[in-house]
Amino acid sequence: MFSRYAVYYAPRPGAFADAAAIWLGRNCETGLALPQSAFDGLTDTLSSLTAKPRKYGFHGTLRAPFRPADGQDGASIAKAVAAMATHLSSARCDGLEIGNPYGFGVAFKPIGDETEILTLAASVVELTDRLRAPLTLDEIAQRERNENLNPRQREYLHRWGYPMVMEELSFQLTLSNRITPEVQPIMEAAVARHFEGLLPMPFVIEDLCLFGEEAKSGMFRLLHRYRLSG
């Protein structure tokens, strides 16, 4: 049923989570489509501008999507992530703000010291490594060809199956596709209006959320939420 799995931050049920689901036009827990708002100044529809993050659901990446290793399945991966959550602690920073961490698109990014978030993400990457199938040579070559990776990111791609990990991680909650510089300020203003008064201060990662990619649709669903209690 699920072709890949990932470990994400996703907000607990509440106003912030509801606003994010409406912004992206999809509830990643139920899988149901939701009507999106219209914003003046956006020549493209919000649906087209948010197509890529809609596929993954509103989240912050701790372990990027991976195929199960030989001998692993959804049940064993869920069991491992549940056990992991009992040994790891929650992570926080001062809050979230609107930005474009990689120089394109719109996302929420942390305010203040990100040390706890980066430490948690690094632990998740290390502890889930045995659960993932290695990348194929074609997958590695494609990523190296399509992305401008620095030497450390290239090393991490081979070692951990993803380049943006450890100190190379730019933790973010993505809200749009890649967009043009002309659309960027309009989109940021729309995000500010839509989420006004809802951004968490402080921002706390309280759970490990296991997501699965539906084999047929390619959409990611929130499967389990495990409280960080270490």
Model confidence over 12-32: pLDDT tens digits?
999 999 999 999 999 999 999
The mean pLDDT value of the chain amounts to 94
Place of tokens 């620095």: 150
| HSE of 10, CA atoms in CB hemisphere, 13 A | 27
Q: How far apart are the C-alpha atoms of 182 and 215, rounded to whole Å?
A: 36
Please report which confidence band the pLDDT of residue 98 belongs to, taking 50, 70 and 90 as the band edges. Answer: very high
Q: Check pLDDT > 80 for residue 65.
A: yes
Could you give the residue ranges of the DSSP H alpha helices within 129-203? 137-146, 151-160, 184-194
The CATH homologous superfamily to which domain 2-227 belongs is: Cyclic phosphodiesterase (3.90.1140.10)
**By mean pLDDT, which of 10-24, 28-42, 63-77, 123-137 is the weakest?**
28-42
- Of 91, 37, 70, 49, nearest to 184 (Cα)? 49
23 or 147, higher pLDDT: 23
pLDDT digits (tens, 9 = 90+) for 48-57: 999 999 999 9
